[in-house]
Structure 1
Amino acid sequence: MSEVRLVVAILVPAIFTLILKDFFDLFMTNRYEGKVKQYTIWMLYFLLDTVISMNFKFVGVISMLYSFIILIAFCAVLYRDDIKYITLTVLFIICIGAASELIVALGIRAFLNSSQLQQFSLFGSTCSKLIILIIVRIVKLFRVSGIKRLDYMNWLANVSMTAGSLYIVYNLYLLSLNETKLLGSTMSSIIILLLNVICFKMFDKIAADAEIKRKNDIYKQSIDIYKREMEEREEHNEKLRRFRHDIKNHLIAIEKLALSKEYDRLRDYIHQLTDEKGVLQVTTISGNALIDGLLADKFDVARKYEIAVEYHIEIPTKLPFDDADLCIIVGNALDNAIDGTKDIEGAKKIEISMGFKQGNFLLKVKNTFNPELIKFDNNGKRLRTSKTDKSNHGMGIGLIEETALKYNGLMEITMNENLFCLSVLLYQN
């Protein structure tokens, strides 16, 4: 039994240290960039905590006070946050730990007699750490989803894994009521706890890779827009250079047509120089290269569906927001408007209003739509549709809202008869 307790006294705190690191990294800013320094300091915490715990048996309030002091000391070294914020965060995890141990203790006492309580203390220690782990995971899923919605299947996988582990650990201890099997069941329980930590790290890696891929796609879209904008400007400049070179000939031709009173030919000649594909046509909409590229791209799509587009835009050539975020907001807002308008019967119209004043960016996109095709979900935010492509339709609305929150902004949707209005407000950080 002494060997079992020694193993538990080392492995369980080691795993719990990883859980603590995961939790504090969520809420606070690391002082050190390198992972080696971070893990080295956490290893020192683990060693110091293990030595103190083996030599001093703290109980009750003294135990919580000890945990409080040592965690604040190490967090002050590890993180650059204000000491008041660190204190609050440490109190939070201590409360979670105390609550989980209380829940497990009450559960054990409800099902076991007094002679079995000591034997099941190892089970209780493992279960309490699993409960803390699942709480940390749930908090992380909600907190890290600043740009991602909380994916239901991801949440279910996380919760099911930990809940299933609790059930397995419980049954392992039920099967090991004699001491000869206790070591095996204890080690199995610790392995299950460790596997949970590893699997959750893998979940994080997969989620991070997916987020990187999504951002890369957005940046690629931004680069493509810039590239098209530069190509169009270069083509326009080349035409303008040729026009300037031939301006004398053009003026001579205009003069001769005027003198000969061939006014119809003169009008056609001037129109040829100033039509929408001519060298005098300026494609600039707002002066902001990124926004102009996005608008030009979406206007081409709208024309294909015979959608009338009106716009009023007053923005500077450079906005104080990340280009990728602007692509998400403006691009998805226009895509949503086009999707909602293209298949309706009757007038197809989109109105765009965009402005930037005193550090505030406001975008309003109104479009005609069919109310029967678009509905809200239960919380009134995400769109549902009767179309067959349910997995992707309305997803852009969620991305817009999440990106707006990044700048402490907001998104609002209103519907008036056959008019759908999407408004987005961003604040300059």
Structure 2
Amino acid sequence: MWTNRVLMCGIDILLCLWAVYLFFFYFDIFFARKRKRYLSVIGITLFVIWQFGITTIISFPAYINIAVTIMFTFLAVMMTYEGRWWNKGVFVITFNAIWMLMETLCNYILITYCPQYAAVRQVGSFVSKIFFNAVILALKKVFTDDDIKELPVRYSILLVLIPTGSIYIMNNIFMLGFANNNGRTRINSTFTVLILLGMNILIFYVYMKLADDLRLRRMAAVYEQQLELCERHQQERELSMLQLRDIKHNMKNNLISILAYAENKEYEKMTGFIEEIMGEGGMVIASISNSGNIVIDSLIGYWYVTAQNKKIIFKTDICIPMIMPFKGADLSLILGYLLENAVEAAEKVEENKYINVKMKFDKNNLLLFVDNSYKGKLLKTRDNRLKSTKSDAENHGVGLASVYRAVAKYHGSVVIEDSEPGKFKIRIVLYSNVQE
């Protein structure tokens, strides 16, 4: 008797360790682990204690067991993985819903085909974990998109209704099948479990489609902005060429007039005439960036004009070739986001509003430095990444994540310096020797 208890306890411990393996196997697909290991240890310890207690010691009603299991799983995920809490909530509830459906399905299979093992809890738990492991393995082979964890909260709230409803329906069906213990009820319940399982697995497919749609809309916005800036830049160049042609055409007549004023020693009139010529605008046009790279020139030109209108000192040091081995959409996304935030931050400063932009292409690598004045406090994640402080943080947070992702495409780095009060510095390096 004592030996059997020790054996059963050992089996329960092994099953709990298997549950921990399934936990990591599942959530590693969608989230990155945190660097602070002690938080993960605390979260997993609580998860293991509950998993062991619910099978050996604790005896609560089914709905309480389900609720507490979801709570402990969510707590473990929050302590172990990076990401937004609402997206974690979706995957936590889906994790428990699929697990519950697997246990119910295996229970019906054992009752139908192996009734002698149906009452042995360890057998049902073992078989359900085998099926659950197979489902997670299939998910890992199919769903590998990092954008799946960056969806807005409204999508997460809507999709979480499916696994939540599945848990509620499955619990009622299980209780109904237990009350009406006959073959027909078990068969109908089995089909219901399979349908609910398919619906919960389809959640991941829906998530991927939503992520693709979000990425396409974001890239469309980037291309639209890039085309608009390029068109504006082209119009400015055409206007500059027309003005330069007019200046050349009128140069002879203007010089004759200036010479006449000089011969008559009418220096004040000559000075006024020269100032009048310059005031027409033909000789005061000076492009802030003349690298020949239309993406960079148009972006810097646009935000230079915007900064000037807001009385912000805007200085540049651009040393890049006309063509670089980086996608225009990525450069537009990175530089556009940095300049937009720099202008918005500098605008809030009462005195000494400035923005300094430096770009250098050295040894096939692009160096991008942006310094600006700012007022307030920066928010950062645990891995020193910048967090959006805007009221519309949901959309701006997505844009900020897109910058980090675009930099990561070229194995680049983002370094933020804010050690000096009121001075914000960001350094970005892109490497061109990356094979995509």
Verify same fold: TM over 0.5. Answer: yes
- The 8 Å contact of residues 414 and 428 in structure 2, kept in 1 or not, is answered as yes
Aligned to 2:400: 397
The amino acid across from 2:360 in the alignment is: G
Kept in 1: contact 2:288–2:300 (CA 8 A): no
Matched, 1:408 2:402: no
Aligned 1:350-361 pairs, distance under 5 A? 350-361=355-366
The CA RMSD measured in Å over matched residues stands at 4.1
Matches of 1:229 and 1:308 in 2, distance apart? 21
Q: Supply the AA of the counterpart residue of 1:195.
A: M
Whole-angstrom CA distance in 2 between matches of 1:301 and 1:172: 63
For 2:118, the equivalent position in structure 1 comes to 117
- In 2, the alpha carbon distance for the partners of 1:310 and 1:284 equals 8
Deviation at 1:157, TM superposition (A): 6.5
TM (norm. structure 1) is 0.64
Residue 231 of structure 1 pairs with residue 235 of structure 2: yes
1:202 aligns to what? Answer: 206
Aligned residue number for residue 96 of structure 1: none
- How far apart are the structure 2 equivalents of 1:240 and 1:408? 44
Unaligned runs of 5+ in 1: 1-22, 27-99
Structure 1 pair 421/308, CA: closer, same or farther in 2 (3 Å)?
same
Match of 1:250 in 2: 254
> Please, what TM-score do these two structures have when normalized by structure 2?
0.63
Q: Which residue of 2 aligns with 1:265?
A: 269
**How far does residue 212 in structure 1 lie from its aligned partner after superposition?**
1.1
Q: How far off its partner does 1:267 sit?
A: 3.3
Q: What secondary structure does 1:246 align onto?
A: helix
Q: Percent sequence identity over matched residues?
A: 27
The match for 1:340 among 340, 345, 366 is: 345
1:291: how far off?
1.1
Residue 409 of structure 1 and its aligned partner are, at CA, apart by 1.0
CA distance in 1, matches of 2:380, 2:318: 29
Q: Please state whether the residue corresponding to 1:253 is helix, strand or coil.
A: helix
- SS of the residue 1:245 aligns to: helix
Residue identity matched to 1:423:
R
Aligned to 2:145: 144
CA distance in 2, matches of 1:145, 1:328: 18
The answer as to whether partners of 1:355 and 1:363 remain within 8 angstroms in 2 is: yes
Relative distance call for 1:215 and 1:202 in structure 2 (3 A) is same
Q: How many residues align?
A: 327
Gaps of 5+ in 2: 1-25, 30-98
Contact kept in structure 2, 1:409 and 1:427, CA below 8 Å: yes
Matched position secondary structure for 1:317:
coil
Alpha-carbon displacement from aligned partner over 1:256-309 (angstroms, at most 9, x marks no partner) = 222222333333433444469315734261322221111111112111221111
Equivalent residue letter for 2:303: K
Q: 2:214 & 2:280 partners in 1: Cα distance? A: 42
Please name the residue that 1:193 is paired with.
197
Partners of 2:397 and 2:257 in 1: CA distance = 56
Letter in 2 for 1:117: A
CA distance in 1, matches of 2:215, 2:257: 60
Instruction: Report the counterpart of residue 179 of structure 1 in structure 2.
Output: 183
Partner of 1:316, secondary structure, is coil
Counterpart residue identity of residue 343, structure 2:
I
State the 1:184 CA deviation.
Answer: 0.5
Amino acid at match of 2:146: S
Measured after TM superposition, the shift of residue 132 of structure 1 is 5.1
